[in-house]
Chains A and B, each alone.
Chain A
Amino acid sequence: MTIEVAIVGIGMHEFGRTEGVSGMDQGVIAVRRALADAGVSWEDMQFAFGGSLAAGAADTMVSLLGLTGLQFINVANGCATGGSALFSVYNTIRSGVFDLGIAVGFDKHERGAFRVNTKGAGLGDWYGASGLALTTQFFGMKINRYMHEYGITNSSLAKVSEKAFRNGSQNPMAWRRKPISEQEVLDSLMLSYPLTQYMFCSPGEGGVALILCRADKAHLYTKTPIYLKAAVVRSRRFGSFEVLAPSIALQHNAGPTVDGAKAAFEMAGMEPKDIDIAQLQDTESGAEIMHMAENGFCEHGEQEFMIQAGETEIGGKFPVNTDGGCLANGEPIGASGLRQVYENVLQLRGQAGVRQVPNNPKTAYTHVYGAPGIAGVTILQR
C-alpha cells in the first residue's frame, strides 16, 4: 500500500528586507510558526530537510530550536533548494522511514542582481569578466525570442507585473505591497531588453517551513490536511536553452519545466485541466508567461489572450501567482519554492483572506525554475 503524504503545518517569516534579523533566524521563526500551526513541538519532529543559498547551513538551527537529536539533512540545489527539501521529506515519509517531519528554507541576499560565482557554476573567469554572467540576460533573451515566435506583447509583460503587485498589496507577508500600473511598469528603467525594472523580481529575504506527515495520521494535527500528490525535481536535457550557458546546441529540447510538469501530472494522476490555481516561477514577468505553456496550462501564444482577458487574475478562470509571486515577494532562493506551497495551502484551506480565490479551489500547482537549468513541481489537493 502506498503511503500518502499530507501537509499539516505551515509557517513563514515575512519576505522582503528585515534589518537586524539573520536569514537563519527568519528560518527559525518560520519553523516556530509551522509548529504552532500544526499544534506540535520541535521535539515531535522526527527528521528535517533544510537549506539556504547564502544564509548558512540549515542544520545549525537546531542549536536555536533544541538539540533533540533528530536527523537533519542540509539541501543545496540552487533555485530548487526548497523544492528539493520538500521532495526529500515527501519521499522519506512515503518510504515509511518516518511519520512526521519538516522542510525548511530561508535566505538573505545582498542588494541588486545576483552576483554569479562563475567558478562554482563551472564557468571560466572570462565569462564573467566579459559581462556575460548575468541571469537577467538569459531572461531577456528567452522572452525576446518567445515574443518573436509567439506574438506576446509588451503590454502583456507589463500586465503580469501589474497583477503581481496588486496581489502583493493584498498579502501581508509580501515585500512589495504597492500597486503599480501597467504604464508605470512599461516606463520604468530598461534593465535587459525587453524587460524593465518592474518586470524583474529582486533577490530578498525570508523563510518558510512546512510540516508533513503520513496522511492517515493527519487528523491528529489538523482539520484541514492538504495532500501532496506529486513532488518532482528535474534537471535539463541536451538541447534546452538555460541560464548561464556560453553555448546552446542547435538541436532543440523543451527543457526541465516541461519534463517536470509531465512527471508530476503522471504521479498525481491528473491533467493540467484538473488544476484550479498555480504558482509559477516569475523571476520576471516573461517567465510567468512562458511557464504557463511549458507547464501545460495552455498552448504557446495563447497566453496573450488569457492575460489581456484577465484569466490569470485572482477572480479569473485560472489564477496564477495569487500571493504576488517572486515579483512582489522577492526571491530568497532557499525559501522561494516553499513560499509557493505555503500560498497554495492557504488557498486550499480557504484561509487566504482578501486574496482568497473564489469557488473553493481543490487542486493547486507550484513550479520553480533556476540555474543551471532545474525545475521543481508540486501538486496539492484538498
Chain B
Amino acid sequence: MAQVPVTEGVFTWPSETPQLIGARCVACDNHMFPGQSGCPRCTGDKTEEVLLGRRGTLWTWTIQGFPPKAPPYAGDVDVKTFQAFGVGYVELPGQVKVEARLTVADPEKLKIGMEMEMVIIPLTTDADGNEVVTFAFAPVA
C-alpha cells in the first residue's frame, strides 16, 4: 500500500528522518511553523524555509478522548472503534514549540519535560487505497 502525506509542504516525505518544514525570519531569526511569509515577532516581511529539529521536550499535553467531528477530521470517528490519542506541544530547542499528535495516550506515560522525537503515523486510507500519513511525536526510548 502506497503512503501519501496528509498534505505537501508541512513535513519532508518520503524520508528516513522526516522533518517539519517551518520558516525563519531573515531579520530577527524567529522560527515559525508551518511556514509563513510575515513575522509576528518583528513585523518583518522576509522569511525563508527552514527544516525544524526532530527532537525536543514535551511542554504540555492532553488526550483527545472523543472522536473529533468529520470534516475536518480525516481519521476514525466511529465511537465503537475510535482510539483516544495524545496531543501536545513539543519545544524544539532554539526554534519553536510545535503542536502535534503524540503516539502515547496514557496519562501515566506522559510527563512534561520528557524527551520526544518526530515520527510519521498512519491517519486514514484514501479513496485510492493509499495510506494517508501525518506527523506525530513519540517518547524517546
Contact = CB atoms under 8 A, between A and B. Distances in A.
Given A113-B69, A192-B65, A130 B98 contact: no
B30 interface: yes
A216 to B, nearest CB: 43
Contact of B63 (A192, A245, A249): A192
Nearest to A248: B97
A248 B91 CA distance: 9
B interface residue count range (under 10 / 10 to 19 / 20 to 34 / 35 or more): 35 or more
Nearest to A122: B36
Contacts of A305: none
A250 B107 contact: no
B85 A131 contact: yes
A283 to B, nearest CB: 14
A366 to B, nearest CB: 28
B14 interface: no
Given A133-B68, A250-B91, A190 B112 contact: no
B68 A131 contact: yes
Contacts of A273: none
Contacts, number: 126
Given A132-B99, A132-B101, A238-B41, A248 B62 contact: no
A118 interface: yes
A141 B63 contact: no
Given A118-B72, A131-B87, A248-B89, A126 B60 contact: no
Contact of A141 (B61, B65, B91, B95): B61
Interface of A: 112-113, 115-116, 118, 124-134, 137, 140-142, 144-145, 148, 189-195, 238, 245-251
Q: What 7 A-B pairs have minimum CB-CB distances, sorted nearest first? A: A128-B72, A140-B62, A126-B7, A145-B60, A129-B74, A247-B33, A193-B63
